[in-house]
A and B are shown apart, each in its own frame.
Chain A
């Protein structure tokens, strides 16, 4: 095994381990975990025998393994961008409900304190 292979595999294992250990990963959908597992094992295979990617590429009609990787990365990138965009919008919508509730409550509170102040004045 050459140095770059050790480095890459070490990196992948670290990221995977970090992902599995992280308590928040329990909220992630099961199929995303399976997908991650498939991708990482494919990654390890490609690192150990780089020719695999070439063979897969030929099988689907792409000239080189490196090209296939680039194409799939491009698709994955667009998917991630879009899902992050949607996620952001969803989070913002929740945020908005919260902020509006706070705003209305604050107004209520001011109203209430005005009434209380008036009463205090009267009882003096």
Chain B
């Protein structure tokens, strides 16, 4: 079952939860790639205790780079047909990934994006909700792709998409890059409602509001410096 699917998880300092997240995913998906992005805690050791493939970045490169490394690794398997990006902090549900995959297979979509605003965002802090909604408006205006959630880490895409996408932004701005690629290459895409659970653990992580300013700045500078 699901032998042609690879789950790619970027990991940065998730030692307390990574094992349980991997074991939940491995109930359904046998091929899991954990890209340890220069964690300074025991994440790597925790991953080694699981069946997941462990790839260690020698130092922190950012989530975009980690996804790229994972996709590159998975593409080496000629039988890999579908790729799932899944956050390693436990805020995504395996059941959502399964239903998104089913949608991708049945509808022959190139990419299926999870949307917490079509679905549920449990215990989402109001500031974060506001920032994320603003990001959606900004993304819809600049890319022309109509979405309800622009920065969700849960995505399912096929080989055609995986081979074509170039993630050039190493940090968190890669989420916008995914959408740019959808816009540019006319991939067949859809959104599926998912539940994102904001646990105490995930909220303690310093993915702050300031980060969205960084993302905006990165994207702006990229446009200016592009030749």
Residue ranges of A at the interface with B (Cβ–Cβ < 8 Å): 85-86, 89, 92-93, 96, 99-100, 102-104, 106-107, 110
Answer yes or no: B165 CB below 8 A from chain A CBs: no
Answer yes or no: B58 CB below 8 A from chain A CBs: yes
B58 and A102 contact, CB distance less than 8 A = yes
With A103-B55, A107-B53, A107-B54 already in contact, the answer to whether A96 and B61 are too (CB < 8 A) is yes
Answer yes or no: B204 CB below 8 A from chain A CBs: no
B57-92 vs A, Cβ < 8 Å mask (1 yes, 0 no): 111010001001100110000000000000000000
| Complex Cα spacing A92 to B65, Å | 11
B170 and A103 contact, CB distance less than 8 A = no
Smallest beta-carbon distance B112→chain A, Å: 26
Task: Return the 7 tightest CB-CB contacts between A and B, nearest first.
Answer: A100-B69, A107-B55, A103-B57, A103-B55, A86-B225, A99-B58, A96-B61
CB-CB under 8 A from B221, the residues of chain A are 85, 89
CB-CB under 8 A from A103, the residues of chain B are 35, 55-58, 69
Given contacts A89-B221, A89-B225, A100-B65, 9 further A-B contacts (CB under 8 A): A96-B170, A99-B57, A100-B57, A100-B61, A100-B68, A103-B35, A103-B57, A107-B73, A110-B54
Contact partner, B61, options A89, A99, A106, Cβ 8 Å: A99
B65 and A96 contact, CB distance less than 8 A = yes
CB-CB under 8 A from B69, the residues of chain A are 100, 103-104
With A102-B58, A107-B54, A107-B55 already in contact, the answer to whether A92 and B170 are too (CB < 8 A) is yes
| Complex Cα spacing A77 to B221, Å | 18
Counting chain B residues whose Cβ lies within 8 A of the other chain, the interface size class is: 10 to 19
| Complex Cα spacing A99 to B35, Å | 12
Smallest beta-carbon distance A82→chain B, Å: 8
| Complex Cα spacing A99 to B168, Å | 15
Smallest beta-carbon distance B54→chain A, Å: 7
Of all chain B residues, which has the CB nearest A92? Answer: B170
Of all chain A residues, which has the CB nearest B227? Answer: A86
CB-CB under 8 A from B65, the residues of chain A are 96, 99-100
CB-CB under 8 A from B73, the residues of chain A are 104, 107
Smallest beta-carbon distance B206→chain A, Å: 21
| Complex Cα spacing A104 to B70, Å | 9
Smallest beta-carbon distance B167→chain A, Å: 10
- Could you list 19 examples of A-B contacts with CB < 8 Å? A85-B221, A89-B221, A89-B225, A92-B170, A96-B61, A96-B65, A99-B57, A99-B58, A100-B65, A100-B69, A102-B58, A103-B35, A103-B55, A103-B57, A103-B58, A103-B69, A104-B72, A106-B55, A107-B53
B59 and A99 contact, CB distance less than 8 A = yes
Please indicate which of the listed interface residues A85, A93, A96, A103 has the most CB atoms of chain B within 10 Å of its own CB. Answer: A103
With A85-B221, A89-B225, A92-B170 already in contact, the answer to whether A100 and B53 are too (CB < 8 A) is no
Smallest beta-carbon distance A17→chain B, Å: 34
| Complex Cα spacing A15 to B35, Å | 47
| Complex Cα spacing A93 to B169, Å | 9
Please indicate which of the listed interface residues B55, B59, B68 has the most CB atoms of chain A within 10 Å of its own CB. Answer: B55
Contact partner, A100, options B72, B168, B225, Cβ 8 Å: B72
Smallest beta-carbon distance A123→chain B, Å: 26
| Complex Cα spacing A5 to B20, Å | 71
